[in-house]
Amino acid sequence: MAGNLYIVATPIGNLGDISERALEVLKQVDLIAAEDTRHSKTLLDRFGIKTKVKAYHEHNEEQFTAQLIQQIVDGESIALISDAGTPLINDPGYKLVTAAHDNGIKVIPIPGPSAVITALSASGLPTSKFIFEGYLPAKTEARKKCLQQLISESRTLVFYEAPHRIRESIQDIQEVFGSERRATVARELTKQYEQIVRDSLFIVNEKLINEEIKIKGEFVIIVEGAQEISVSDAEVLRINQILSEKLPPKEAAGLTSKITGKKKNEVYQMALESNEK
């Protein structure tokens, strides 16, 4: 009988957040595949877990995925953990989980903390619809381009950020999304110096500049989505018509889409149909 692959969430700071089920699984499996064996040792030692641990990270996942799958097929059960939070959420594991499914292996999630959900739950921003973007690009030009593409996104946006880029990123978000939009910076969640600040992007930026928000530790940025604007089809066509006088049809449709929030291909199609009439 094949074993199982367990995807085990671990704390994002406070070790008290480990679940009973996570501890049971980590004790009972044949092997723990950990992103960083030294890092995970602190957690495993604290709970007296003596299970064998093997490194499984982005640099060796290609090489070890087949080997781990073979061990499971041969009857061993393996638990995947990352340095913190839920594996695969901006952490390694995707190749292993896909390979497990491809080989008919049962994948069992053991839910627990993840910085994205923890931050969102305390953000004071709308939570019913959100998108998680992971890390923004490191270079300003690419970062602003990425933000431009998100400018009319109406769902709450969640980003991970490193301390050495938090100021630049908030500045760029403010520049692209405008000073008035609300944002929450969640720092060092579940840890001693936890800090959660919600304000306009302008004030959040100020608080980072004057270090009211400390530039240390781990960060999640949550930004309010764009206000949904309701523009009638007639208005969409009118804007597109004006832009078409100066621009090729696809560019005009693209700009109209940015202005009105209507999808570019829908604008293009509407314009075609209107021209045929």
Amino acid present at 124: G
Give the Cα separation of 40 and 84 in Å (integer).
9
Of 161 and 224, which CB lies nearer to ligand SAM in the complex structure?
161
In this structure, the number of other CB atoms found within 10 A of the CB of residue 5 comes to: 27
Of 71 and 86, which CB lies nearer to ligand SAM in the complex structure?
86
- Counting residues that bind ligand SAM (by CB under 6 A) gives 23
Of 56 and 268, which CB lies nearer to ligand SAM in the complex structure?
56
Q: What is the pattern of x (binds ligand SAM, CB under 6 A) and - over residues 67-86?
A: ---------------x-xxx
Q: What angle do the packed helices 264-276 and 249-260 form, to 10 degrees? A: 120
- Residue list 114-133, contact with ligand SAM (CB under 6 A): 114-116
Q: Which two tokens stand for residue 214?
A: 């400390």
Give the Cα separation of 195 and 214 in Å (integer).
9
- Residue list 193-232, contact with ligand SAM (CB under 6 A): 218-220
Contact between 47 and 10 under an 8 Å Cβ cutoff? The reply is no
Q: How far is the CB of 12 from ligand SAM (least distance, A)?
A: 4
Of 105, 110, 153, 161, which one interacts with ligand SAM (CB under 6 A)? 161
Of 3, 32, 69, 91, which one interacts with ligand SAM (CB under 6 A)? 91
Q: What letter does residue 16 receive in the DSSP assignment?
A: G
Of 44 and 196, which CB lies nearer to ligand SAM in the complex structure?
196
Q: Please, is 124 exposed, middle or buried when counting C-beta atoms within 10 Å of its C-beta (0-12, 13-18, 19+)? A: middle
Give the Cα separation of 139 and 156 in Å (integer).
23
* Chain contacts with ligand SAM (rule: CB under 6 A): 12-13, 82, 84-86, 89-91, 114-116, 160-162, 186, 188-191, 218-220
